[in-house]
Amino acid sequence: MKTEIKKHLIEDIIPFWKGLRDDENGGYYGWMDYEHSVDKKAVKGCILNSRITWFFANAYTLLKDESLLAEAKHGFEFLKNHCWDKENGGVFWSVKYDGTPEETLKHTYNQAFSIYALSSYYEASGDKEALEMAYTLYELIESKMRDELGYKEAFDESFHEIDNEKLSENGVIASKTMNTLLHVFEAYTELYRVDGKAEVKEKLMWMMDLIAEKIYNPELHRQEVFFDEKWNSIIDLHSYGHDIETAWLVDRSVEVIGEKKYEDKMTPITLDLARQVKKLAFNGESLSNECEKGVDDTNRVWWVQAETVVGFLNAAEKCGKDTEEGKAYIESAKAVWEFIKAHVIDKRDGYETGREWYWLVDEKGKPYSDKPIVEPWKCPYHNGRMCFEVIKRL
């Protein structure tokens, strides 16, 4: 499994994303349709470009290939020169193909992913400007994008709060979301890991308390997803993918901060999330997407499968690889990888370099042809990170 996944990373995913580099206008092309046609004038999502920068920085840190650091620098320069609002501060939602602003709203989620990318790029390159930019965004989030209860969601370019249409789904408009909190948490974990500032550690512990006390539902063994401004859940929704992702990201942060109190507090929660996901959503081969009001969406989303491999391996470590439960998690992770190999990796001809994953397949593995291969949310963050984690863990 480790050998196959490392080969897939080096021979497929890395060459594919190198091939989308835009040397004329900067960054990476923002759209490839199902038939592998690249739209070189498509909008470039700033989340897409921050995630690609994060990917290449971590690929370099792991593999020590200088060409990967060059790709990460290319992404960093695009974030700095085009995605950054030099007048008001913060990172835009998206820019046009030529790097001029397109959607200028500021979303907390988006700022968090830039912190994630800048922290990793700092680790890879030693460029202190990247670390300074990460802290500028950190201070912006803490001063303008939260209240006493938690992180708010969406703002206009001058940081006046607006409706959270970007990260609301399933027919609701949420004032606060599990998803944004999770990725602020993830970004701060990376920032603390590479620089170790005490105030960031304090924020991480505060967010763990928030996850334990407001997001995690012990009666239903899941996280709630969408909330009003006071953390009251506003929809009956179980996001299987986010729960298995949260489980290992929280465990990673616990390891990074090194506080026994939080290991004791959070490990029972993360194991409960993993066990419930495996019980309800895993069919022996792959993972369903979510369950709304008791009805499962059994489609297989690319990122959910990637996070499941990592989440099951992490759960095996937490309950003991040599225990019966641990062995079952390892076998389940292998099964999901087999499903990914057989059905989610796009093995069709037509790529100039490398290859990527389908956005969505059904439970039997048939791809949906109305979904693109690359778009503002579709990037090497989830599947690339799965490769990094498997290589490091095994």
CATH number of the domain within which 351 lies: 1.50.10.10
Q: What is the pLDDT along the chain (394 residues), one digit of tens a residue?
A: 999 999 999 999 999 999 999 999 999 999 999 999 999 999 999 999 999 999 999 999 999 999 999 999 999 999 999 999 999 999 999 999 999 999 999 999 999 999 999 999 999 999 999 999 999 999 999 999 999 999 999 999 999 999 999 999 999 999 999 999 999 999 999 999 999 999 999 999 999 999 999 999 999 999 999 999 999 999 999 999 999 999 999 999 999 999 999 999 999 999 999 999 999 999 999 999 999 999 999 999 999 999 999 999 999 999 999 999 999 999 999 999 999 999 999 999 999 999 999 999 999 999 999 999 999 999 999 999 999 999 999 9
Q: Give residue for tokens 């990170």.
A: 385
Measured in whole angstroms, the distance separating CA 317 from the mean position of its chain's CA atoms is 21
Its domain, for residue 34, covers 2-393
Q: What is the pLDDT of residue 66?
A: 98
The count of structural domains within the chain is 1
282 DSSP 8-state letter: B
What are the φ/ψ torsions at residue 101 (nearest 5 degrees)?
Answer: -60, 140
Tokens found for residue 351 = 């790529």
